[in-house]
Chains A and B, each alone.
Chain A
Amino acid sequence: MFKIVRQHAVRLGIFTLATVFLVVLVEKATFKQRAMQRAAIERAQLATVLPPTTHDNDLLADSFVLDPSTYIQMELLGLKASRMAYRAKLDNKVSAVILPLVSHAGYGGEIEQLIGISDNGEITGIRVIRHQETPGLGDKIDSRLSDWIYSFDGRSLNNTKKSLWAVKKDGGDFDQFVGATITPRAVTASVYNSLEFFNLNKSTLLELATSDTKAINQGIYHDSKPN
């Protein structure tokens, strides 16, 4: 009896070691390529919210961690965990920041967004990165399906007063979709909140801080979830 158990354990151990070895081998062999791919995708994504002409630095190299100890009223961004943000620099001056943003008021759960804000508080671009809104109705927040998200470009708290940061149905400035008001309402509210956050933390965000170099190797999209 004991002999059989030992035999099984040894065999199972050998197989485990062999398979782990194989995985480690592939992991090491593809490491560089994977990091490059991820960086390329991230750069492309960041470029959609902030035109590359507005900065002369590598955004991934100038990423930093948004943590509650440094920034006030982090809850305005709706983030559950510390996330990466990016500083764009032009002539050794911070010209814009890119912040992650999550809305919890969507119809189908969280709506993850990326927002670019220039140093004067104007929105340079917003993209919805991940959402579970109803296909055909609420998913028009996706830039591939509708131009709606572009209606925020160039807006700021200065040129759009607080009461206008709402969908038209609520007396605001932004279109809603036929059959879906909850989704655009959620996005509009979270965009407004992120501008508030920017204003509150403006001096810290636009500071020429030495970047957290650890950030280069980490992505902001680590937590892949099914969609």
Chain B
Amino acid sequence: MTPSLTEISRKGLWQNNPALVQLLGLCPLLAVSNTTVNALGLGIATIFVLTCSNFLISLLKQLVLPGIRLPVFVLIIACLTTCVELLMQALAYSLYQTLGIFLPLIVTNCIILGRAEGFASRHHPLLAIWDGLMMGLGFSIILLLLGMLRELLGTGGLFANMDLLFSGISPSEIIIFNAKNPFLLAILPPGAFLALGLMLALKNLIDEKIANKKIPETSPLTPGSKRVRITGKV
């Protein structure tokens, strides 16, 4: 049973979104989403690790004995994460500093091990790459939205310090409103929980709307229709 590409994308981005439905990887999701640049940086790193680990694990699935499956997966994921860490030090050192411990902690992100075990070890490498991309994208989009929402509410601006990630561009923060007394709650950890809660609610609301549309309207009962007795003696 091989799922189609559109099915994988739909699952990763919406139906089975790692952040909104599976609620995996909450630790980085809540901790790093305080600014857009942090969210984008970690998002890209996660997509990279997830896609590569899915590909490698799917490629090597014949070689991995069932008994040592998990240690091997963790080895591969840890190796890729270390590589990302080194690459980020070489290409965006200041971003590496601001992400701090959350970059090496990608190893413990359940999404990655979950996809390795649940998808990559059972499907064709190309499908696994697509699944990694879509799942990573689904996670990163939510991470980015949270980051933008919190930065906007908490500081009144957007895209501050983007030069941390793209060293070429000039710092171009967009000031939406001037916050003399910024809405601190949004930047502090409780703000992350509240914002994620609101996003979950919104997703469920949209899902409900879609589900309601799909159900064909049942014809209303006509007066005087037969009633059926279902309890007691007839």
Contacts and interface: CB of A to CB of B under 8 A. Distances in A.
Interface residues of B, number: 33
Which applies to chain B's interface (DSSP): helix, strand, loop or mixed?
A: helix
Interface stretch (A18-26, A70-78, A92-100, A169-177): A18-26
Interface residues of A, number: 27
B64 interface: yes
A12 B94 contact: no
Contacts of A27: 86
A13 to B, nearest CB: 10
Interface in B161-183: 181-182
Nearest to B79: A19
Given A30-B87, A136-B184, A16 B75 contact: yes
A80 interface: no
Nearest to B99: A226
A226 B99 CA distance: 7
A204 B205 CA distance: 69
A81 interface: no
B89 A225 contact: no
A34 B78 contact: no
B97 A26 contact: no
B102 A226 contact: yes
B82 A23 contact: yes
A48 B83 CA distance: 31
Contacts of A7: 65
Given A8-B68, A11-B63, A135-B187, A224 B97 contact: yes
Interface in A94-125: none
A16 B71 CA distance: 10
Interface in B95-151: 96-98, 100-102
Interface of A: 4, 7-8, 11-12, 15-16, 19-20, 22-23, 26-27, 30, 33-34, 37-38, 40-41, 135-136, 221, 224-227
Given A224-B96, A224-B97, 4 more contacts: A11-B68, A30-B87, A37-B89, A226-B31
